[in-house]
Every structure is written in C-alpha cells, then in structure tokens.
Structure 1
Amino acid sequence: MTEMKVRVFVMLKTGVLDPQGEAVRHALGALGFDGVQGVRQGKVIELELADGTSESVVTEMCEKLLANTVIESYRFEVL
C-alpha cells in the first residue's frame, strides 16, 4: 500500500500571548543575540496517510484534534 505524507504547521493566532516564544526571545537576548524583536513558537506535525486521503480529511483532523482553532491557526502541505 502506498502512502502520502502531510506536514501540518500549527501556530498561535496573532494577538494570543505566547509565553514560550517570549521565553525563547529572552534567552536569545541573554546569549547575546541582539535585535530579536519577537518569537512565536509553534509545532509541526508530520502525518503518514493512505495514498488518496483527501485534503478535507486532513482539514477535519486539524479542526478536531491537531489545532485548537480558538487560539491557533494551521496550514498543511502534502509532501
């Protein structure tokens, strides 16, 4: 059986506080990396799916489990 790969990118929506991103920004400054104005942290999820899985099924996966659509946005690409 052949398979397809999908990469899902999930990020907090603009305006949602990102404490992890702020911690990374602060740590970069402490390490001497000046000029970092902001950091947004997200996640990447790679899925191996049966060949022919529709994009609507991937969207449903994102909407129901992979992203909290109240505070996160997502996009995906078929590899």
Structure 2
Amino acid sequence: MKARVHVMLKDGVLDPQGEAVRHALGSLGFSGVEGVRMGKVIELELQATDAAQAEAEVRQMCERLLANTVIEKYTVEIA
C-alpha cells in the first residue's frame, strides 16, 4: 500500500522560499504570479493491508515527525 503526504505551511505563516521563487519568476518575465507557497510531498511504501489503519499510522507519523504541526498542515492520501 502507498501513502502520499502533502505538507504545506499554514495560512498566515511567512514563506520565504515561496517569496524567493515568486521574485525569481518575475525576474524571468513571468509577471502574472502574485504568490507562491512551497511545500513538500512525502511518499511512503507501507506493509499495511487495511487503508483505515494505514491512514491512522501515517497521521501519527505526521504528528510526530513528518510535519511541524505548529506551522504546517498536511493531508494524507492512501492508495
């Protein structure tokens, strides 16, 4: 079973990397970009066979290691 976790900064948290990318895009002539938010995608290969159990386990991983829940939000997809 595979899991995919999308981690993004929460709304209102300053994103200096996203701002640097927005500025660089403007320098390259892409003037229509008003904002950029950077995040990360984590793909996990799991031995679990039960999707609900796998999702619960991945959420625990996010809470304990994969995401800084003070400033980041995350979503979990199980496939």
TM-score range, shorter chain: over 0.9
Q: How many residues align?
A: 76
How does the TM-score come out when normalised to structure 1?
0.92
C-alpha deviations, 1:15-61, integer Å up to 9, x for none? Answer: 00000000000000000001100000000000001132511111100
Structure with greater helix share of residues:
2
Does residue 27 (structure 1) correspond to residue 3 (structure 2)? The answer is no
Identify the residue that residue 62 of structure 2 maps to in structure 1: 62
**Pairwise mapping of residues 1-79 of structure 1 onto structure 2 (< 5 A)?**
4-52=1-49, 54=53, 55-79=55-79
Displacement over 4 Å in runs of 4+: none
Residue 76 of structure 1 deviates from its aligned partner by 1.0
How does the TM-score come out when normalised to structure 2?
0.92
Structure 2 CA distance, aligned partners of 1:40 and 1:20? 8
| CA RMSD, Structure 1 to Structure 2 (Å) | 0.9
Structure with greater strand share of residues:
1
Structure 1 CA distance, aligned partners of 2:33 and 2:61? 34
Q: Which runs of 5+ in 1 are unaligned?
A: none
